[in-house]
Amino acid sequence: MSFENLSDIVDLTRYPLHEADSPVVAALLREGRETLAADALFTMPGFVLPQASAAMAAELEARVPMAPRYEVEREIYAYEPETGAADHPCNARHACRYHQVLNHQISNESPLRRVFIWEPLREFLRRLMGYETFHRSECPHLALTAKVAGPGDTDGWHYDGNDVVFSVLLRQPGAGGLFEYAPNLRSEGDENWDGLAAVLAGRNDTVRRASLAVGDLNVFQGDCTLHRVTPVEGDTRRIVGLFCYDREPGTNFGEAYIEELRKRTPGQSGAGLNGGRVTA
């Protein structure tokens, strides 16, 4: 299958985003905004067609040997927690293990990239979020990425540092690899430490488990919604494509972050780069 036409990749009958003024798009925007406000997760089921999802997953899986590998104890907050004792729930850490396929490792012809650079999708997401401007990231490393999680790989409980994440599920493992989240557990003025402690202790009935299927496009607001991906069980990897946008045009990720990626990339220790200057 060549995926020459976008209609071979995206279910345009269900998601005619190129018909921006159509009643279908208006209904999707209405549903999306309501769902995000209540649940922090808006899913568009079957957005990417099955054969395209399979091709994207196969391409990404083939990139794993060259992809950065994360194996860290992850903190819950993207910023320094401002509260106290070592046993305070905000200082808990959880395992975080996966490969991250980078933008420049994904081919220019990839059907996943075709979706990412599809203008009507960018414009739809801008309207959904109510932003005045919305640009695709042009970062050579992180604009378009994928997380690939093998046996035992997981993404521990955390809040995201950015306000919204756009992802498409491309392969499901046989078991595990489930996305769990506690909608709006914290808010700007209230960290809700008791709620956090309850979730970490497995005692909170506010935790939901997303029932995601391959091909689903997800819009997730993870800045106030604690979430994790449970460990993958079995040999089939979990694969998720991630699209990065920015309200400002032309921004790149900081060099410290990129240097960390380099250190984690096979065969690229970063040694000899001389602070970014290439030596003769």
Applying CB under 6 A, which part among 23-31, 89-97, 102-110, 160-168 lies near ligand AKG? 160-168
Q: Which of 227, 231, 232, 265 lies at the binding interface for ligand AKG (CB under 6 A)? A: 227
- Counting Cβ atoms within 10 Å, is residue 38 exposed (0-12), middle (13-18) or buried (19+)? exposed
CB 227 within 8 A of CB 100: no
- Looking at beta carbons only, is 123 or 160 nearer to Fe ion? 160
How many residues lie near Fe ion (CB under 5 A)? 2
Where do we find the tokens 């995000």?
Answer: 36
158 to 197, contacts with Fe ion by CB under 5 A? Answer: 160
Question: Which of the listed partners (Fe ion, ligand AKG, none) does 157 bind, with a CB threshold of 5 to 8 Å by partner kind?
Answer: none
- Which residue in the set 3, 157, 166, 179 belongs to the binding site for ligand AKG (CB under 6 A)? 179
* Chain position whose Cβ is nearest to ligand AKG: 240
Q: Which stretch binds Fe ion (CB under 5 A): 59-67, 142-150, 222-230, 248-256?
A: 222-230
**Residue in 89, 156, 195, 222 binding Fe ion, rule: CB under 5 A:** 222
Q: Which residues of 99-117 are buried (b: 16+ CB within 10 A; e: fewer)?
A: bbbbbebbeeebbbbbbbe
Helices marked H in the chain — which ranges? 23-39, 50-63, 111-116, 119-129, 193-200, 255-263
Residues near Fe ion (CB under 5 A): 160, 222
